[in-house]
Amino acid sequence: MTRQDSIRLSGTSYAVLGLVRHLGRATPYDLKQLIAESLDNFWPVPHTTFYAEPTRLAAAGYLVEEQEPGGRRRKVYELTDQGRQALERWVADPASAAPVLHDEGVLKVFLGADPSAVFGARRDWHETKIGELERHLEGIRFALDGDPPNRGSLEGIAAALAAGIAFHRTYLTLLDEQLADQGP
Amino acid sequence: MTRQDSIRLSGTSYAVLGLVRHLGRATPYDLKQLIAESLDNFWPVPHTTFYAEPTRLAAAGYLVEEQEPGGRRRKVYELTDQGRQALERWVADPASAAPVLHDEGVLKVFLGADPSAVFGARRDWHETKIGELERHLEGIRFALDGDPPNRGSLEGIAAALAAGIAFHRTYLTLLDEQLADQGP
DNA sequence: ACTCGTATAGTTCGACTCGAACTGTTCCAA
DNA sequence: TTGGAACAGTTCGAGTCGAACTATACGAGT
């Protein structure tokens, strides 16, 4: 009998349910590994949440929790019907919360910092980031050329990576425009 | 004697300090009004934080807190030297934390939602938002054409609004590209 | 076989954050 | 003169986060 503690489900909750559905059986660490560098660009989840949130979801009946008897005694999660249904309902609804951006650099400039200094530093960061994501994406593409055991998974990650790269490129363009409007 | 409870200062803390510096004397409600629709695009601050955070900052010596004797008994804040120095030090440092984006729509698509449905709905939202911001910006520009009592303030807000509009436009472009890549 | 370093895996804690819901105040028009 | 809308402020508890820490596994060199 699943419990109905009627907890609130956030985007992060659904992210956890979705990742568990994807892996079938997953430990918190698996979840963390899955999204590093891909989904993380659009929906950051601190790693501690992957330990806390599944426990919450299991208590409310969306997941089942098992613990390995020996070794690291890791907890392994699987979706329940209730979890699957909640996830499907949420995914089917095309409405989504407005995107939210947190940019400390713009805040600094708003509070009087020198735009060239702040945006200049930021520029380099985006370039580095793009490099990382591209390298990662290449790796995935290479894997996709071989045999595809987990093809679907990799394709989703590739799409997220491509979108992430597009996002950072756009940001770079915007920054360069700002920098051009300023200094010499 | 200012207390040194050595609290952690987040971007939001500095935002509060900066807004108080800007206004000279400010109530929480003033702060909230100041950033609605402008800074909010890059550094969202829930309104309750404008009640809690200044209290925290005052306890640690960054602000002084006074309470109106009658009426609404509002609390009024002013910057201390300690607060001013902390703010200046932070603003002078060109390094800033990486921008962070939260986009539930992309999350949904990542988890298997229909991209056209999700992005289509989102598209309209951005258009509405741009309209609002543009109307607001026009208002500010009109005010700037008149006499400028608080000119500096308004210019900062105008800049933030312009950047916000640019951001949403860019997002719109990206969404349209995604929608074009999909079906008809 | 052993042991040291590194990578992997997991947890605890407390401070902070957030939003829902509520209360109180002021203003203004009917 | 009173009732409703807009304005202003607060409370509360659940949720979120990151720093710091512990523990386990693996592997290279000895």
DSSP string, A46-103: -TTHHHHHHHHHHHTTSEEEEE-SSTT--EEEEE-HHHHHHHHHHHH----PPPEEE-
- Quick: pLDDT tens for A3-49: 445 788 999 999 999 999 988 889 998 899 888 878 888 999 999 99
User: Which chain A residues touch B10 with a CB distance below 8 Å?
Assistant: none
User: Which chain A residues touch B106 with a CB distance below 8 Å?
Assistant: 42-43, 160, 163
In 3D, which of A124, A43, A78 has the Cα closest to residue B111? A43
Q: Pick from A43, A104, A114: which is nearest to B11 by CB?
A: A104
| Residue B38 · residue B160 · CB < 8 Å | yes
- Quick: pLDDT tens for B46-64: 999 999 999 999 999 999 9
Inter-chain residue contact A11 with B102, CB threshold 8 Å: yes
As assigned by CATH, the class of the B11-92 domain is mainly alpha
Cβ-based contacts under 8 A for chains A and B: 147
Average pLDDT, chain B: 86
CA of A122 to C1' of C18 (A): 28
CA of A138 to C1' of C15 (A): 41
User: Which chain A residues touch B159 with a CB distance below 8 Å?
Assistant: 110
What's CA B49's distance to the chain center, in Å?
12
| Residue B60 · residue B4 · CB < 8 Å | yes
CB neighbours of B68 closer than 8 A, spacing ≥ 6? B74, B75, B76
Nearest C-alpha in B relative to A128: B98
Q: Degrees (nearest 5) of the Cα angle B136, A100, B56?
A: 90
Residue from B107, B109, B133 whose CB has the most chain A CBs within 10 Å, to mutate: B107
pLDDT at A67: 79
Average pLDDT, chain A: 86
Q: Which of B2-16, B82-96, B111-125, B146-160 has the lowest mean pLDDT?
A: B146-160
CA of B39 to C1' of C24 (A): 29
Q: What is the mean pLDDT of residues A150-174?
A: 82
pLDDT at B2: 43
**SS3 readout for chain B:** CCCCCCCCCCHHHHHHHHHHHHHCCECHHHHHHHHCCCHHHCCCCCCCHHHHHHHHHHHCCCEEEEECCCCCCCEEEEECHHHHHHHHHHHHCCCCCCCEEECHHHHHHHCCCCHHHHHHHHHHHHHHHHHHHHHHHHHHHHHHHCCCCCHHHHHHHHHHHHHHHHHHHHHHHHHHHHHHHCCC
pLDDT at B71: 61
Spatial separation of the C-alpha atoms in residues B79 and B25, rounded to whole Å: 8
Tokens of B156: 């900062």
Q: Which of B20-24, B115-119, B177-181 has the lowest mean pLDDT?
A: B177-181
Q: Beta-carbon neighbour count of residue A7 at 10 Å?
A: 14
Residue from A12, A42, A110, A169 whose CB has the most chain B CBs within 10 Å, to mutate: A110
CB neighbours of A9 closer than 8 A, spacing ≥ 6? A62, A86, A90
